[in-house]
């Protein structure tokens, strides 16, 4: 039987296990990326391994999240990251240079390679035919140390594309359609692989928008073949030597298949406050809009901003709209300026910001109270924008610019003829500020500001665990709920004692005080617990507060891995009905839990008050060793 693109790349990188669905495998990681919000902790973790230099083919340290320097902390962290990159052999991309995923696509992504990133939108690289996976910072630190990345071999969901997109419909609408069909948890346990004749109609940056936004499905990653369009993109970047053709065999087989006729798609929009609340734009049309943001790692390529500029050539922005542009990279800025289209944006009334994540991570650009904000971002979780009870809609650049012009949600097809956009055959590289690795960084001193705190040490689970239900929550709890982002909290990412003060702050302001009072607690949750960002702080900070158990109906992939990495027991209800019987404040006992973990028990006994029930512990043998050791770092040190 023929192989899919996924199977070909994984087979070439397999170092542990076999490509059997549901079995744990270990793969060699060629490249890593970090961003500053997660990177500070990842490098402290790498430093703790004692390894003198990264062992990957290529690793890049990006600064793109914590760009607002309201005090010394972000600036200090940036210097720390630069010194870490120099010391340990990484490329360094400084603040203002751009978003990690956009730059990596432009300057470093290589078809057929594996990429592990401490950001959930790392699958952007799948647009070039990479297996690019988001993970917690500790997993990335281990990859930089030369260790394999372990995961459960996913099923492969084939998405067959036919025909081509109509005018005013773009790649963004493709993934909005997939989200409409599958929901934010529909991709859990899968790699999404795109195939079919419609693939040839999509450029590399179109594909990257789809694979990036595919993170919202809960999928392990998403991938396209590497073909003539991939080659054309790498040629435009002056990197033709990096191209390799990687296509699925004609008789390749997928575990599930979905077919999308691109010609039938229309402009779509995700309503507040979840990426899968998708409707046609025409059904939401007419609502007044106060803010329009175009950018983020999903839609900040030159193509995306060029179509916006061309649409605005003869049209001003409504005086009722704050219209803002977040370019994806310095390369995008340089080329847009050289082509003359930056002037169009400025004259039309755009506020053009530095290249970076900005409002997508709650770093400024919060909308007004009660106002609608249209964004080309990948997430609209409640309050993520920085405004409580926000009304954030997610859409394509075409739909966004239509709203900016009219001052209301508008089907962009009403604007008339679709603008002609011609991309340059050769891009200005825009990489002058990227600092390459030193040949020998052993003499470089690490610069540590006062906000850098030592990595905490954790003790293993006791023989019998006893604790209190500190919090009970419902379905689709995101890592934003657990560990909020924003300009106030993000600067604390390198200081676990300080950032731990904000755990579950938006859900229950009394959580931290209760956790400190007990120092031995658990959290109870519903389905898809921990969806969203890869931020390991959503596991690390609760662990610092004494949380050693999470008991839920189901977990999101990255969060479950992060829990294990920090020695938190990830249990699921064997009978989901038992969720109703566990109340906040209840005393819980896990009798002989260490023995149960050690003997490989897939179900463990949970005692709540006077009743007992079973919970499932669905982890690998390797994970059991990590849990018994109290976390991945403890386990790795024991192996050395």
Q: Each residue of 430-469: pLDDT tens digit?
A: 999 999 999 999 999 999 999 888 888 888 899 999 999 9
User: In this structure, what DSSP letter does residue 125 have?
Assistant: G
pLDDT at residue 579, as a whole number: 97
Could you tell me the two tokens for 205? Answer: 């940056």
Give me the percent of the chain exceeding a pLDDT of 70: 100
Residues forming a β-bridge with 551 = 524, 571
Tell me how far apart the alpha carbons of residues 565 and 539 are, in angstroms, rounded to a whole number: 9
Place of tokens 């175009």: 294
76-121 tens-digit pLDDT: 999 999 999 999 999 999 999 999 999 999 999 999 999 999 999 9
Q: Domain 272-414, what fold?
A: Aconitase; domain 3 (3.30.499)
User: Average pLDDT of 415-427?
Assistant: 95
Check for a shared fold between 5-264 and 465-639: no
Structure tokens at 237: 């970047």
545: exposed, middle or buried (C-beta count within 10 Å: 0-12, 13-18, 19+)? buried
Of the candidates 88, 106, 43, 34, the one whose C-alpha atom is nearest the C-alpha of residue 64 is 34
Q: What is the CATH number of domain 465-639?
A: 3.20.19.10
Which positions are annotated as active-site residues? 64-65, 119, 379, 533, 535
Token couple for 482: 């657990």
Tell me if 540 sits within 8 A of 139, measured CB to CB.
no
CATH 3.65.10.10 fits 5-264, yes or no: no
- Gap between the Cα atoms of 135 and 559, Å rounded: 9
Question: Which residues sit opposite 236 in a β-bridge?
Answer: none
Q: For residue 285, count other CB atoms closer than 10 A to its CB.
A: 18
Full strand arrangement of the beta sheet holding 268-270: 278-280, 268-270, 391-394, 372-375, 291-295, 322-326, 351-352
Cβ atoms of 407 and 288 closer than 8 Å: yes
Report residue 308 as tokens: 């916006």
Could you give the CA distance from residue 430 to residue 102 in angstroms, rounded to a whole number?
Answer: 12
In the DSSP assignment, the letter for residue 536 is T
Cα separation, 354 vs 373, whole angstroms: 20
> How does pLDDT run across 300-356, given as a tens digit for each residue?
999 999 999 999 998 999 999 999 999 999 999 999 999 999 999 999 999 999 999
How far apart are alpha carbons 83 and 85 in whole angstroms?
5
Alpha-carbon distance of 25 to 16, in angstroms, equals 5
Measured CA to CA, the distance from residue 37 to residue 35 in angstroms comes to 6
Residue 549 sits at φ, ψ, to 5 deg, of -140, 135
Question: Residue 638: is its pLDDT beyond 80?
Answer: no
Q: Hey, which bits of 170-216 come out as E strands?
A: 190-195
Our measurement of the distance from residue 137's CA atom to the centroid of its chain's CA atoms, rounded to an integer in Å, reads: 12
CB 495 within 8 A of CB 451: yes
Indicate the domain borders of the chain. Answer: 5-264, 272-414, 465-639
Is the Cβ–Cβ distance between 178 and 211 less than 8 Å? no
Q: What is the dihedral of CA 144, 148, 150, 155, to 10 degrees?
A: 110
């Amino acid at each position: 039987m023929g192989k899919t693109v996924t199977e070909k790349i994984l087979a070439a990188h397999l170092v542990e296990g076999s490509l059997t669905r549901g079995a744990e495998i270990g793969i060699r990681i060629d490249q890593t990326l970090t961003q500053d919000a997660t990177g500070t902790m990842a490098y402290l973790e790498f430093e703790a391994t004692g390894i003198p230099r990264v062992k990957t083919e290529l690793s890049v340290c990006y600064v793109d999240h914590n760009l607002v320097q309201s005090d010394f902390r972000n600036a200090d962290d940036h210097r720390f990251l630069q010194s870490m990159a120099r010391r340990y052999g990484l490329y360094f991309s400084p603040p203002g240079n751009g978003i990690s995923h956009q730059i990596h696509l432009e300057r470093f992504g290589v078809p057929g390679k594996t990429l592990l990133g401490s950001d959930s939108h790392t699958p952007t690289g799948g647009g070039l035919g990479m297996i690019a996976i988001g993970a917690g910072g500790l997993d990335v630190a281990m990859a930089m140390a030369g260790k394999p990345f372990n995961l459960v071999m996913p099923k492969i969901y084939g998405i067959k594309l036919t025909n081509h997109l109509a005018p005013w419909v773009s790649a963004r609408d493709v993934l909005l359609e997939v989200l409409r069909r599958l929901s934010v948890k529909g991709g859990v346990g899968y790699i999404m692989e795109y195939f079919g004749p419609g693939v040839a109609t999509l450029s590399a940056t179109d594909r990257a928008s789809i694979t990036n936004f595919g993170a919202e499905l809960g999928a392990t990653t998403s991938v396209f073949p590497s073909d003539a369009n991939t080659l054309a993109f790498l040629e435009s970047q002056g990197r033709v030597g990096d191209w390799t053709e990687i296509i699925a065999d004609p008789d390749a087989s997928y575990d599930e298949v979905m077919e999308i006729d691109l010609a039938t798609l229309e402009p779509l929009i995700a309503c507040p406050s979840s990426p899968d609340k998708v409707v046609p734009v025409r059904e939401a049309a007419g609502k007044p809009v106060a803010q329009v943001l175009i950018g983020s790692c999903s839609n900040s390529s030159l193509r995306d901003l060029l179509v916006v500029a061309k649409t605005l050539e003869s049209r001003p922005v409504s005086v009722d709209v704050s219209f803002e542009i977040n370019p994806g990279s310095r390369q995008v800025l340089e080329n847009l300026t050289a082509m003359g289209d930056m002037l169009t944006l400025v004259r039309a009334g755009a506020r053009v910001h530095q290249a970076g994540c900005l409002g997508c991570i709650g770093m400024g650009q919060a909308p007004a109270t009660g106002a609608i904000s249209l964004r080309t971002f990948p997430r609209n979780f409640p309050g993520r924008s920085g405004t409580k009870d926000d009304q954030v809609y997610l859409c394509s650049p075409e739909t966004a610019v239509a709203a900016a012009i009219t001052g209301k949600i508008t089907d962009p097809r009403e604007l008339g003829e679709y603008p002609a956009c011609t991309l340059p055959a050769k891009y200005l590289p825009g990489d002058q500020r990227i600092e390459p690795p030193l040949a020998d960084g052993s003499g470089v001193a690490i610069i540590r500001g006062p906000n850098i705190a030592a990595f905490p040490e954790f003790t293993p689970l006791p023989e019998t665990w006893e604790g209190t239900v500190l919090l009970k929550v419902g379905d689709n709890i995101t890592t934003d709920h657990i560990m909020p982002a924003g300009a106030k909290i993000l600067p604390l990412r390198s200081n676990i004692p300080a950032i731990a003060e904000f755990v579950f702050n938006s859900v229950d302001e009394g959580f931290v005080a209760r956790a400190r009072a007990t120092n031995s607690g658990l959290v109870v949750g519903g389905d898809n617990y921990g969806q969203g960002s890869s931020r390991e702080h959503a596991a690390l900070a609760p662990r610092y507060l004494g949380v050693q158990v999470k008991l839920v109906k189901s977990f999101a992939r990255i969060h479950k891995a992060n829990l294990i990495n920090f020695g938190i027991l990830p249990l699921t209800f064997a009978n989901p009905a038992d969720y109703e019987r566990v109340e906040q404040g209840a005393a819980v006992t896990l009798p002989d839990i260490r023995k149960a973990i050690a003997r490989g028990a897939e179900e463990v006994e949970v005692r709540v008050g006077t009743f007992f029930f079973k919970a499932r512990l669905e982890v690998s043998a390797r994970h059991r060793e990590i849990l018994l050791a109290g976390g991945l770092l403890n386990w790795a040190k024991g192996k050395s």
